[in-house]
């Protein structure tokens, strides 16, 4: 396995980036009156997921990295909740929600796996 030289090498970060892009693209379909409401919130929380992975990695401290991975996971849970709300509000259909939820679940597993592997090392 290749050494991790940058946060960009982390699969969790790569998938979290895909997740944020997907949420951003899909939320563009929200009604105009949601620009500062749910649309802004879901975009912010989804962008926070890869951002916190990167920031934690940049701290160069195992304890800090684990803390930022926890923050990242919390932001993911927030975005996943907002995804379900978007469907309930009628902004997304079930297939869009399912695609976002599935990718979010994958990101969550990767974040938790990374956090657990750091704990053991």
Report how far apart, in Å, the C-alpha atoms of 100 and of each of 1, 21, 60 are. Answer: 29, 10, 31
Does 18 map to a domain? yes
Q: What's the whole-model pTM score?
A: 0.94
CA pair distance 42, 114, nearest whole angstrom: 24
Does 1 map to a domain? no
Residues of the chain whose pLDDT is less than 70?
1-3, 120-121
Does 106 map to a domain? yes
CATH number at residue 65: 1.20.1440.60
Domain around 43? 8-120
Task: Read off the tokens for 75.
Answer: 């932001």
Does 103 map to a domain? yes
Task: Read off the tokens for 29.
Answer: 């379909």
- DSSP codes joined into one string, 81-92: HHHHHHHHTTSS
CA pair distance 44, 47, nearest whole angstrom: 5
Does 3 map to a domain? no
Locus of tokens 């469907």:
87
Locus of tokens 């704990």:
119
Q: What is the pLDDT of residue 59?
A: 92
Q: What is the pLDDT of residue 121?
A: 56
Q: What is the pLDDT of residue 4?
A: 73
Report the domain count for the chain. 1
Does 2 map to a domain? no
């Amino acid at each position: 396995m290749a050494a991790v030289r940058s946060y960009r090498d982390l699969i969790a970060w790569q998938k979290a980036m895909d997740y944020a892009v997907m949420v951003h693209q899909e939320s563009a379909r929200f009604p105009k009156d949601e620009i500062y409401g749910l649309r802004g919130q879901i975009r912010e929380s989804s962008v926070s997921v890869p951002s916190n992975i990167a920031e934690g990695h940049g701290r160069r401290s195992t304890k800090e990295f684990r803390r930022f991975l926890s923050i990242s996971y919390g932001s993911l849970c927030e975005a996943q909740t907002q995804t379900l709300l978007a469907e309930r509000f009628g902004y997304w259909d079930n297939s869009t929600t399912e695609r976002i939820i599935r990718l979010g679940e994958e990101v969550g597993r990767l974040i938790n796996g990374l956090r657990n592997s750091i704990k053991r090392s």
